[in-house]
Amino acid sequence: MKHLIVLSCIFFTNAITAFAQQDTTTTYLNKLWQPTSSPDSAFLYTQLYQQNGLWTKKMFWVKGNVLKSEGSYIDKACKIPQGTSKAYNENGTLRSIVIAENGHGKTADYFYESGKKMGHIDYTAKGAKQTGWDENGELIPNFVVEKEAVFPGGPEAWRSYLEENLDASVAARSKAKPGIYTVKVQFIVDKDGNVSNVNAIEVPKDCSRCGKEAVRVIKQGPGWEPAVQYNRRVIYQAIQHISFQVSEE
């Protein structure tokens, strides 16, 4: 699942870094999660080092020097998790444990601040089985641990919407060479499913109009089904890739 605005982990790979000790890279981030070279202006900081053939990444809140998350990865960019990853609340209590293998999640457990289990996801089960409990340990029927925002009707409806509403000839009219031109669009889906802040964050250099068309088709589309986390609707930062093809004449 894509990470929610209530994000538990965001990884930065092109940050300004300083070296706290040999073989450990420390990166400072401000309140907007942007790299900063000044520890005094940092809100968070991360430590990255290699251990037992894996890359270990830890994130801390600067205030109180409290551990926020920790996990191991196959790659230095920390995009392929391997083994156990943990996230913590600001008071230091455990929030979640995720177990992954070669970048694929196997299970995830979420906890109340009391330490009692709140939710469990079995990613190996069909449809990723989700289970939840109240603070007394009683099972909550139909509990949704996490669900990303989706276009109404799901992926098939999204594809149909694009086929009917996207101006696929934009790339060809821009005199782009034969090939596929993909735009990466980022936008917000609020708790009611309203779409806002639509921006093309990656646009092919040979087709700037592709970016404008991708933004247009999302802005003029319907609202999305809102994301859910811990059985409550939440604000969600969505990413969609929209491609334009220019065929050989």
Strand order in the sheet with 195-202: 195-202, 179-189, 236-246
Mean pLDDT on 106-111: 97
Length of the chain, in residues: 249
Residue 77 predicted with pLDDT over 50: yes
Last residue of a domain, one of 114, 146, 178: 146
135 and 160 both lie in a single domain:
no
183 and 208 both lie in a single domain:
yes
70 and 164 both lie in a single domain:
no
Residues ≥6 apart with Cβ < 8 Å to 85: 9, 69, 70, 71, 72, 97, 98, 99, 100
pLDDT (tens digit, 9 = 90+) per residue, 181-237? 999 999 999 999 999 999 999 999 989 999 999 999 999 999 999 999 999 999 999
- Residue 9 forms part of a structural domain: no
- Residue 1 forms part of a structural domain: no
- Residue 139 forms part of a structural domain: yes
What does pLDDT average to over the chain? 90
Using pLDDT thresholds of 50, 70 and 90, give the confidence band for residue 161: very high
Domain of 214, CATH number, reads 3.30.1150.10
166 and 88 both lie in a single domain:
no
- Residue 69 forms part of a structural domain: yes
- Residue 201 forms part of a structural domain: yes
211 and 128 both lie in a single domain:
no
pLDDT (tens digit, 9 = 90+) per residue, 56-73? 999 999 999 999 999 999
- Residue 121 forms part of a structural domain: yes
- Asked if 133 contacts 139 with a C-beta cutoff of 8 angstroms, the reply is yes
- Report the Cα 248 to chain-centroid distance in Å: 36
99 and 196 both lie in a single domain:
no
140 and 22 both lie in a single domain:
yes
172 and 132 both lie in a single domain:
no
128 and 192 both lie in a single domain:
no
Last residue of a domain, one of 146, 175, 191: 146
Domain count, the chain: 2
Q: What is the pLDDT of residue 3?
A: 39
Q: What is the pLDDT of residue 39?
A: 87
Using pLDDT thresholds of 50, 70 and 90, give the confidence band for residue 249: low
The DSSP symbol for 226 reads P
Domain of 104, CATH number, reads 3.90.930
**Which of 22-26, 108-112, 145-149, 208-212 is predicted least confidently?**
22-26
Q: What is the pLDDT of residue 81?
A: 97
Using pLDDT thresholds of 50, 70 and 90, give the confidence band for residue 17: very low
Last residue of a domain, one of 120, 146, 172: 146
118 and 204 both lie in a single domain:
no
Mean pLDDT on 240-249: 89
Mean pLDDT on 64-85: 96
24 and 140 both lie in a single domain:
yes
168 and 218 both lie in a single domain:
yes
What percentage of residues in the chain have a pLDDT greater than 90?
83
Query: Which of 25, 83, 87, 97 shows the shortest CA–CA distance to 61?
Result: 87
- Residue 136 forms part of a structural domain: yes
User: Residue 202 belongs to what domain range?
Assistant: 155-246
